[in-house]
């Protein structure tokens, strides 16, 4: 029996939405495990998908809290087993996984839009506010993934560019992880600062002219 604050049109959509987010989290977790392998060795990409998996888990619990406030009984069922291998011969593994992630998030955006439309048509203000939050959160992920996919298409056949992309991902994902409550899975600030210093030092080794003043250049030359 539904309470007066529940809508029959909204209730059937929520279990399917939860299941879809569970599947997304599992796929991102599988991608993270794949790029963590010793024969793939792209830790930055692995961390990226680990953060995205945690974001989906956090959103699931946020969804569950929303449903329980409305007196519903959310069901978190079993999800489909994700693929274990993402190796491709027609394109790079990184590009394939980012394109797949972008497709999943696009579908998620469509589902959130359907939830918003149903809530708006029925005058459910609480569900409208909740679905608006979901749409905003998904929009951020869409923009980020689309940017990375476009970049990876340009450098698809350049292994050095992909390694550089992998190296910069850990601290590019930091802000999104903090804003979504997924910062527990990223390295500490000290480790990220070490990565930044390492990138800066390697850049300087390749081009000492990057130092702005003569004094810094002298110190650098004395060190090496």
CA 46 → CA 31, 60, 62, 97, 122, distances in Å?
Answer: 7, 21, 25, 11, 42
Tell whether the torsion through CA atoms of 103, 98, 188 and 39 is positive or negative. Answer: positive
Rounded Cα distance between 61 and 64, Å, is 5
Rounded Cα distance between 187 and 132, Å, is 31
Helix (H) or strand (E) holding 128: helix 125-154
Is 202 annotated to bind ligand?
no
Q: Is 123 left (phi over 0), alpha (psi -120 to 50) or beta?
A: left
Residue 68: CA atoms inside 13 Å, Cβ hemisphere, count?
8
Q: Which one, of 111, 115, 108, lies nearest residue 145 by Cα?
A: 108
Beta strands in 7-159, from DSSP E residues, in sequence order: none
Q: Is residue 112 within 8 Å of residue 134, measured between CB atoms?
A: yes
Could you list the residues known to form a binding site for Fe cation, using ranges: 56
């Amino acid at each position: 029996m539904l309470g007066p604050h529940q809508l029959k049109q909204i209730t059937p959509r929520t279990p399917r939405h939860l299941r879809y987010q569970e599947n997304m989290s599992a796929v991102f977790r599988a991608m993270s495990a794949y790029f963590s392998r010793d024969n793939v060795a792209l830790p930055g990409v692995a961390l990226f998908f680990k953060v995205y998996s945690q974001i989906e888990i956090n959103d699931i619990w946020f969804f569950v809290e929303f449903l329980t406030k409305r007196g519903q009984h959310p069901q978190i069922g079993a999800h489909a087993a994700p693929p274990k291998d993402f190796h491709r011969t027609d394109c790079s593994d990184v590009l394939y996984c980012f394109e797949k992630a972008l497709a999943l998030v696009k579908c998620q955006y469509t589902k959130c839009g359907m939830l918003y439309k149903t809530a708006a048509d029925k005058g459910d203000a609480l569900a409208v506010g909740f679905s608006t939050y979901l749409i905003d959160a998904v929009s951020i992920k869409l923009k980020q993934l689309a940017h990375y996919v476009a970049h990876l298409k340009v450098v698809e056949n350049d292994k050095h560019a992909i390694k550089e992309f992998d190296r910069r991902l850990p601290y590019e994902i930091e802000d999104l992880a903090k804003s979504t409550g997924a910062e527990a899975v990223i390295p500490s600030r000290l480790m990220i600062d070490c990565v930044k210093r390492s990138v800066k030092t390697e850049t300087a080794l390749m081009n000492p002219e990057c130092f702005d003043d003569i004094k810094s250049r002298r110190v650098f030359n004395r060190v090496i």
